[in-house]
Amino acid sequence: MTGKIWLQLIGIFCSLKDSSLEETGVLDCLDKEPDYRYLVYAGEFVYLQCSPSKLLIKAEKNTVEWFIQKPDRSLKEVKRRNDLIIHDNGALQISTLERNHSGTYLCRMKNLCRKMIVRVEGKENCSTYGPKSFFFRITEAPTTLSCPSLSCQGDIKRNVTWYRNETFANVTSKNRFSVKINNNDIQFSELFTEDVGIYTCDYVFHDSSEEEWIMRATIQVSVDIPDTEEPPKILSSSNGTEIPAELGKPTELKCRIHFGYERYFNPVIKWTVLHPEVKVEHSGGRNLCLNNTSGLTGYECLFTIKLDKVTKNDLLTIFQCYAQNSVGNVTTTFKLSKKESDVVFLIYILSASVALLLVTLICAGTVYVYWVEIVLLYRHYLSKDETIGDNKDFDAFISYATQTSEYGEEITDNFCNNYEDERFATQLLPSVLEDNYNYKLCILERDILPGGAYVEDIAKIIKRSRRAIFILSQRYITGPRLFELQAAITCSLEEQDSLKLILIKLKPFKEPESLPHIVKKALRALPTVSWKGDLNSKPAHTSKFWKRIRYYMPVKKCKENVRI
Ligand SMILES: *[C@@H]1O[C@H](CO)[C@@H](O)[C@H](O)[C@H]1NC(C)=O
Ligand SMILES: *[C@@H]1O[C@H](CO)[C@@H](O)[C@H](O)[C@H]1NC(C)=O
């Protein structure tokens, strides 16, 4: 229908029929027998449903039209007014019935047209008209609701049907266990805020001319919850909370607020953004709020503002969330704090890890380089003297290539070199280890009287020593004294802990093919200290060489002449 067309119809058979009304079939509908006759009372509130049992789907809602034919037979479309509302499901609401609301109503949707007669009566015939609205205190249950118009047609027993709201929903259902119909009354065993609504009661009544009418009345039910006496509470954060935000990235500020129950809930919710130079306000209202399921605890509201890109200016901005109800107001301020981007953070972590690794490496390196010194220091101050009570006579047995040997002819060839072995073993070694560090050495030529069997003597002496030191050179490795090394290796394998071998590589040498297998292996495995010094210069006993020798020597407490 276009425009607000008023039509004067002169009788049902009028020749001046509006073409659009004809198209919609409204005039045909006007011709038929009424589908319903409603008797209602002046001053009351009523719903008239177009499609009684079903809810209309949304697409159809705008296709519902209502028309009224007044007693003067004029037909006009019902337009929304203060007291006339057409609901989404097509129901027509008349908020306060007056006598001039009487008439023939036509409701048309898609392929359906309903005709109903509405008769508005005064309440003169009613001995009492029940209350038309009920305010239940939630604590008042169980309670009963009666159809208010029952007294108007005498005491005859009626069969009342109840509906709820404009949707004409069933009053009792599986989910509404607390609601029962009993003896035409609704009984609430418990009350919930969901029970709030407008209840319609219908019953059939025949008037004096035996015409059948549906007597329709409504009763408005409110469940009374006391209004809150508290101002709202901001739940999201406490005052002055800093929210980490990354520059250049979008961010959201959320303000979550709880409001206590109010019958007329009209909250004010605001975000005030106080930039250093400008102030911006965003306001919101009830649309931001959800009613809690029970309804008793009030409303929860969420107001979010979004920043597309956090700028430096935003970091100086104060964000203020304001919430107000009829009792009072509450404010919370937020600030953004700069959050390093993930990449920067990753770099921090990486650098920290690398630094830690470096420190560890440096420590490990230091320990590695100064290990000998550390052990010597430790022994000097903390360690026990391991020589006490082991029944050994010598700290070290010294084995070296002697000048006098069966291979005497070689002496002349290489006299100086061979002499060097002996000088090292008999002069330098004792001068440092005996004189400075109080070790007792066993040098065969010096300490053991000749006589006895050489082989047996060597075995005995080695067993009486804590260490055996071998001065290795080409001459030693090819000479007869190699036997001593071989014997010591065998002995140390037998004696385990009590004998340890130390190799001093005095000069580089080449291992002969004929070297016994056990010696070859020992040369690889045993601790070897290389001599790089000069025999003619003053013995430098603090040099690395002597530190290493002392490291392999037994721990012995003594009055040392030198400090490390
Ligand atoms: C009200 O009472 C009058 C007089 O008794 C009667 O004529 C009228 O029909 C009654 N109305 C209804 C709606 O019962
Ligand atoms: C908020 O409440 C205070 C009192 O607590 C009042 O002075 C102030 O005017 C209120 N603010 C607004 C905007 O109503």
In the chain, the amino acid numbered 297 is T
**CA nearest 188: which of 149, 139, 226, 148?**
139
If residue 132 lies in a helix (H) or strand (E), which one and from where to where?
Answer: none
260 with 298: CB under 8 angstroms? Answer: yes
In the chain, the amino acid numbered 114 is R
**Residue 370: its pLDDT value, please?**
85
Active centre residues (catalytic): 484
**Residue 83: its pLDDT value, please?**
82
As a whole number of angstroms, the distance between CA 234 and CA 257 comes to 4
Q: Which ligand is nearest to the CA of 119?
A: 1
Answer whether residue 27 shows pLDDT above 60: yes
Q: Which residues line ligand 1 (CB under 6 A)?
A: 121, 125, 153, 208
Answer whether residue 176 shows pLDDT above 60: yes
The better pLDDT of the pair 146, 52 is held by 146
Answer whether residue 537 shows pLDDT above 60: yes
The better pLDDT of the pair 292, 371 is held by 371
**Residue 215: its pLDDT value, please?**
94
Distance 39 CA to ligand 1 centre (A): 12
Ligand 1 pocket mutation, candidates 40, 44, 119, 125, criterion most atoms within 8 A of CB: 125
As a whole number of angstroms, the distance between CA 234 and CA 330 comes to 7
**Residue 12: its pLDDT value, please?**
36
Q: What is the pLDDT of residues 302-346, one digit of tens each?
A: 999 999 999 888 888 999 999 999 999 999 999 998 887 777 778
Q: Which ligand is nearest to the CA of 232?
A: 2
The better pLDDT of the pair 450, 103 is held by 103
In the chain, the amino acid numbered 211 is E
Tokens at residue 353, please? 């890890």
Query: Rounded mean pLDDT of 83-92?
Result: 86
Distance 150 CA to ligand 1 centre (A): 14
Answer whether residue 1 shows pLDDT above 50: no
To the nearest 10 degrees (0 to 180), the angle between helices 371-381 and 342-369 is 60
In the chain, the amino acid numbered 45 is F
Average model confidence (pLDDT) across the chain: 82
**Residue 416: its pLDDT value, please?**
53
553 with 396: CB under 8 angstroms? Answer: yes
Answer whether residue 62 shows pLDDT above 70: no
Strands 329-338 and 318-324: antiparallel
What percent of the chain stands above pLDDT 70? 86
Closest CA to ligand 1's atom 12: 125
Confidence of residue 109 (pLDDT cuts 50, 70, 90): confident
- At residue 91, φ and ψ (nearest 5 deg) are -70, 140
Confidence of residue 564 (pLDDT cuts 50, 70, 90): very low
Answer whether residue 549 shows pLDDT above 80: yes
As a whole number of angstroms, the distance between CA 159 and CA 202 comes to 8
126-140, 289-303, 355-369, range with greatest mean pLDDT = 355-369
Which residues, 6+ apart, have CB-to-CB distance to 191 below 8 Å?
136, 138, 140, 141, 143, 178, 223
Beta bridge partners of 274: 279, 318
**CA nearest 40: which of 213, 209, 195?**
213
Q: What is the pLDDT of residues 371-401, one digit of tens each?
A: 878 887 887 777 777 777 778 888 999 998 8
Closest CA to ligand 2's atom 2: 329
As a whole number of angstroms, the distance between CA 426 and CA 447 comes to 11
**CA nearest 258: which of 237, 294, 233?**
233
Which residues, 6+ apart, have CB-to-CB distance to 186 below 8 Å?
144, 145, 162, 171, 179, 180, 199
As a whole number of angstroms, the distance between CA 222 and CA 225 comes to 9
Q: What is the pLDDT of residues 403-427, one digit of tens each?
A: 654 444 444 445 555 578 888 888 8
As a whole number of angstroms, the distance between CA 271 and CA 200 comes to 44
Burial class (CB in 10 A: 0-12, 13-18, 19+), 114: buried
As a whole number of angstroms, the distance between CA 156 and CA 126 comes to 13
Query: Rounded mean pLDDT of 34-39?
Result: 93
421 with 477: CB under 8 angstroms? Answer: no
As a whole number of angstroms, the distance between CA 562 and CA 564 comes to 6
In the chain, the amino acid numbered 395 is D
**Residue 470: its pLDDT value, please?**
93
The better pLDDT of the pair 235, 559 is held by 235
Distance 313 CA to ligand 2 centre (A): 28
**Residue 415: its pLDDT value, please?**
52
Q: Which ligand is nearest to the CA of 330?
A: 2
Strands 500-505 and 528-530: parallel
